Amino acid sequence: MEKTSNYRLGTWVAEILLIVIGLIFLVPFYFLLVNSIKSFGDILAHSASWPTTFRFENYANAWNKISFPTALGNSLIVTIVSNALLLLISSMAAYQMVRHDTPFNRFLFGLLVAAMVVPFQSIMLPLMEVSNVLSLNNSIPGLILCYLGFGAPLSVFLFHGFIKTVPIEIEQAARVDGSSRYGVFFRIVCPLLLPMFVTVLILNTLWIWNDYLLPSLILNDPELRTIPIATYMLFGQYTKQWDLALPALVLGITPIVVFFLVMQKYIVSGIAAGAVKG
């Protein structure tokens, strides 16, 4: 009996301790939000206090300065199209590589695994040459094509590991019933891959949505800016003008935070499932 009450006390202490740590974790968001609606003078003089006047025009200014609708639209197009194509081409490739274990496919898979540790910096400079030759520069489709190349290793790797655990018997039965290989893949294998589709989608979304370096190298046109580039440009131009910068940051993080709160369950389980051995 003594033991259980002790345990309960311990749980309470742990709970309170964790809540305090959680609040500390949230402090940056508090500073960001309250200061985003203060006047510049108030930000400098009273950074920690609750705002006395609410200057929502800060948001209007930031909205215009980073051309928020354009940047949001570009980010959405790049993220959605890259994700859709990556899911398609890498699941198909992984399927073929597992079910058709030729020396060539084995070699290609080895190459993909090795490519997973190549840092972006190691290929970014020659990649700019390649993108020049192929006229991928300054175009959204060009940027998407780059994401297909970069995303391929991890995506194929994740699908490959998953497909290996899918029993082949159902597919063989479907083949006997006269289904083509393509029919087997799209009608039978794809539905089975659904959990892995979610995992790959989430990992790639986090990466592509937040990526700064690649789009900054490929896109120059202000009309094509994604959210990270628009934010970076704003900071370069208006250094330390916090009444403009902070609302811009809030606008920049809102879409992905909303995405997280809506999809939370899938994101967390997707990340856990994606944590296969490196």
Partner 1 sequence: MSQRKSAQLLQQLVFVGPMALFFVLIMVIPFLLGLYYSMTNWDGVSENIRWLGLGNYVHIFRDDPDFRNAFWFTVRFTVCGVILTNLIGFFLAYALTKPLRTRNALRTVFFMPNMIGGLLLGFIWQFIFVRGFSAVGEATGLSFFKLPWLGDGPTAFWGTVIVFVWQYAGYLMVIYISSLNNVPSALIESAQIDGAGRRQILRHIVVPLIMPAVTVCLFLAISWSFKVFELNLALTKGGPFKSTESVALDIYNEAFTNNRLGLGTAKAMIFFVVVAIITSIQVRLTKKKEVEM
Region 88-107 residues binding partner 1, contact defined as CB under 8 A: 89-90, 92-93, 95-97, 100, 105
Q: How far apart are CA 209 and CA 278, in angstroms?
A: 23
- Site size toward partner 1 (CB under 8 A) is 89
Among residues 6, 59, 7, the alpha carbon closest in space to that of 32 is found at 59
Selected from 6, 9, 27, 223, the binder of partner 1 by CB under 8 A is 27
Q: Return d(Cα 39, Cα 20) in angstroms, integer.
A: 30
Among 6, 9, 18, 69, binds partner 1 (CB under 8 A): 18
Alpha-carbon dihedral angle through residues 194, 195, 197, 201, given to the nearest 10 degrees: 140
Return the number of the residue (70 or 269) whose C-beta is nearest partner 1. 269
Residue 170 Cβ vs partner 1, minimum distance, rounded to whole Å: 18
Nearer to partner 1, 14 or 168 (CB): 14
For helices 227-237 and 68-99, the axis angle rounded to 10 degrees is 140
For residue 228, the minimal CB distance to partner 1 (Å) is 5
How far apart CA 123 and CA 23 sit, in angstroms, is: 41
**162-181 residues near partner 1, rule: CB under 8 A:** 181
39, 53 Cβ separation under 8 angstroms: yes
Interface residues for partner 1 in 126-165 (CB under 8 A)? Answer: 126-130, 134, 145-146, 148-150, 152-153, 156
State in angstroms the smallest separation of the CB of 225 from partner 1. Answer: 13
Decide: residue 169, CB within 10 A, 0-12 exposed, 13-18 middle, 19+ buried: exposed
Q: How far is CA 73 from the centre of its chain?
A: 16
Q: Which is nearer to partner 1, 93 or 224 (CB)?
A: 93
Distance in angstroms (rounded) separating the CA atoms of residues 142 and 136? 4
Residue with tokens 């345990």: 7
Q: What is 91-103 written as a DSSP string?
A: HHHHHHHHHS--H
Contact positions with partner 1 (CB under 8 A) in 61-80: none
Whether residue 112 contacts residue 158, with contact meaning beta carbons closer than 8 Å, is answered with no
- Count CB atoms within 10 A of the CB of residue 177: 9
Q: How far is the CB of 188 from partner 1 (least distance, A)?
A: 15
Q: Of 88 and 170, which has the nearer Cβ to partner 1?
A: 88
Q: Is 189 in the site for partner 1 (CB under 8 A)?
A: no
* Nearer to partner 1 among residue 70 and residue 232 (C-beta): 232
Q: Shortest approach of partner 1 to residue 156 CB, angstroms?
A: 6
**Residues of this chain, 108-127, that bind partner 1 according to CB under 8 A:** 108, 111-112, 115, 117-127
Give the one residue of 2, 4, 5, 25 binding partner 1; rule: CB under 8 A: 25
Residue 111 CB, shortest distance to partner 1, in Å, is 7
Residue identified by tokens 């301790």 is 17
Please, which of residues 235-274 interact with partner 1 by CB under 8 A? 235, 240, 242, 245-246, 249, 252-253, 256-257, 259-261, 264, 268-269, 271-272
